[in-house]
Amino acid sequence: MYTLLDGKAVSAKLRGKIKENVEKYKNNNGKDIGLAVVMVGENPASAIYVRNKIKACEEVGIKSFSYYLSEKASQNDVERLVLSLVEDNAINGILVQLPLPEHINAEKVLGLIPAKKDVDGFSAENTGKLCLGEECLVACTPHGVMKILEEYGVEVKGKRAVVVGRSNIVGKPMAMLLLNADATVTVCHSKTKNLQEECQNADILVAAIGKPKFITCEMVKDGAVVVDVGMNRDENGKLCGDVDFDKVKDKCSYITPVPGGVGPMTITMLMFNTLQAAQRG
């Protein structure tokens, strides 16, 4: 029998604590905590994410400042906006929603955000500090995965962890967090030979591939902990993860559902990072 890793429940509990700490910060410092959310263009998925981020801010008492630039905005327009937010003392965190339109150099835009306001944890400084095991703002999705594991008392130390996917946003920081927590970590990707065999060795398997139901029953060891970071649509347009949940679940000790697993944690960790950014000043 498997245990469902309920990200929605963990998220609600954590948001309650964040809300209390935001309130304390405001009382002690006599000012608000501010998060700037920048969106360029009209990507419909991004619009939903941005709306949910703003809603989460309201829920925990963080003041959100949203900026919507048109698809036609120039590199200069976007950079000028970000630089004004960097200078603004009312803004503790800056989030530039990705992807940016193709004509915008995203690396250059993100490069303008100083590490202390980089609540996505994407900057070279925060990524480097994560690698060194130093205190930093950690990328929200992998950070959320660690919180879920912690909440359910899943031991990571000494376990074989396999991360499938090597993106800068999820796979790489995920591997680093597991390594920092004393797991033995393997990172697999599209060029990995014998992916099935690698996955079969995993005590903890994290799927961050971006392909619906990619992780099948044969790839999962009996008793494994399976964490699904995927957010896809199946052939019927239904939301599904990277794991074939119905076929895999009975082999697992713990498994995250999609939706209601890792997803809700991402935005919660953004709130957590914004609070931390304010507290560290």
Cβ 70 to ligand GUN shortest distance, Å:
18
CB nearer to ligand GUN: pick between 140 and 199: 140
Judged by CB under 6 A, the chain residues 167 through 226 that form the site for ligand GUN are 169
* Binding segment (CB under 6 A) for ligand GUN, from list 1-9, 16-24, 95-103, 186-194: 95-103
CB nearer to ligand GUN: pick between 229 and 255: 229
Cβ 270 to ligand GUN shortest distance, Å:
7
Q: Give the residue nearest to ligand GUN (CB).
A: 98
CB nearer to ligand GUN: pick between 202 and 271: 271
Among 11, 64, 97, 127, binds ligand GUN (CB under 6 A): 97
> Residue with structure tokens 């801010």?
57
106 lines the binding site for ligand GUN (CB under 6 A) = no
Q: Which of 63, 97, 172, 276 is catalytic?
A: 97
| Cα dihedral 116, 118, 120, 125 sign | negative
Q: Provide the residue count of the chain.
A: 281
User: Which residue, among 74, 76, 77, 50, has the nearest Cα to 64 in the 3D structure?
Assistant: 50
Residues near 44 by beta carbon (within 8 Å), at least 6 away in sequence: none
97 a catalytic residue: yes
11 lines the binding site for ligand GUN (CB under 6 A) = no
53 a catalytic residue: yes
Beta bridge partners of 64: 35
- Element at 164 (helix H, strand E): strand 160-164
Amino acid identity for residue 175 in this structure: A
Q: Cis peptide before 101, with omega less than 30 degrees from 0?
A: no
CB nearer to ligand GUN: pick between 14 and 199: 14
**33's tokens:** 């905590």
Q: 63-88 in b/e burial notation, b at 16+ Cβ within 10 A?
A: bbbbbebeeebeeeebbebbeebeee
CB nearer to ligand GUN: pick between 96 and 176: 96
Cβ 58 to ligand GUN shortest distance, Å:
19
**45's tokens:** 């998925």
120 lines the binding site for ligand GUN (CB under 6 A) = yes
Q: Which of 118, 120, 203, 228 is catalytic?
A: 120
User: Which residue, among 56, 61, 26, has the nearest Cα to 269 in the 3D structure?
Assistant: 56
Among 33, 95, 162, 205, binds ligand GUN (CB under 6 A): 95
120 a catalytic residue: yes
Q: Cis peptide before 173, with omega less than 30 degrees from 0?
A: no
Residues with catalytic roles: 53, 97, 120
Residues engaged in binding ligand GUN (CB under 6 A): 95-98, 120, 140, 169, 266
